[in-house]
Amino acid sequence: MTVRDLTTADAPALLEFYRTLDQEVTWYYLPFGADVRQETLEDHLRAAETGTHISLGLLDEVQRVLGHVFLWNIRDEKPVFGIGLHQSILGQGWGRRLAETIFARADAHRIPLVSLTVLKTNVRACSLYRSLGFETRGVCTMRSTDDSYYMERIAPAR
């Protein structure tokens, strides 16, 4: 498995990744909406190529995307973190590896704060985020009233 920057050329593989996620994974992770389209992913990847976002993929030996991690709007006050894994690799430590890779990049870019929202019922993700330095700052609504945590990670002091 390889972790690398995604480019617009990867849009078809990234679309296939999103379209093959099972129902449980998509319940927790749909950053581009239920009807994700190639044009939307191309826009996201173009923004990554120009330095607006950071977008990394976890690819297998045949270049199939099995994980996607990103930071949206890295120049904003509160860039947004997102991570998703294909159900075939859940529980194997890839989420931590992807997150650590992108946070090393965020720290190198001197991004002082990263934010996210996560459903309260996504216990595995909540635990991972806390172990990566995220702290709960409040609750918010994703699917129903107050069903999610709003969390922030402050970059380590240099």
DSSP type of residue 143: S
Q: Residue 146: inside a domain, yes or no?
A: no
Two tokens at 115?
A: 């934010």
Q: Residue 7: inside a domain, yes or no?
A: yes
Q: Residue 22: inside a domain, yes or no?
A: yes
* Residue 29 pLDDT: 78
Two tokens at 86?
A: 């294909």
CB 38 within 8 A of CB 12: yes
Number of Cβ within a 10 Å radius of residue 16: 12
Kindly report the pTM of this predicted structure: 0.91
Two tokens at 103?
A: 């946070």
Q: Residue 18: inside a domain, yes or no?
A: yes
* Residue range(s) defining the domain that contains residue 21: 2-111
Q: Residue 102: inside a domain, yes or no?
A: yes
Q: What is the CATH number of the domain that holds 90?
A: 3.40.630.30
Distance between CA atoms of 103 and 105, rounded to whole angstroms? 5
CB 7 within 8 A of CB 47: no
Number of structural domains, the chain? 1
Q: Residue 134: inside a domain, yes or no?
A: no
Query: Would you say the C-alpha torsion 45, 49, 55, 60 has a positive or negative sign?
Result: positive
Q: Residue 117: inside a domain, yes or no?
A: no
Q: Residue 8: inside a domain, yes or no?
A: yes
CB 67 within 8 A of CB 89: yes
pLDDT in tens, 81-117: 999 999 899 889 999 999 999 999 998 889 999 999 9
pLDDT in tens, 29-84: 777 777 789 999 999 999 999 999 999 999 999 999 999 999 999 998 999 999 99
147's CB contacts (< 8 A; 6+ apart) are 119, 120, 121, 141
DSSP type of residue 155: P
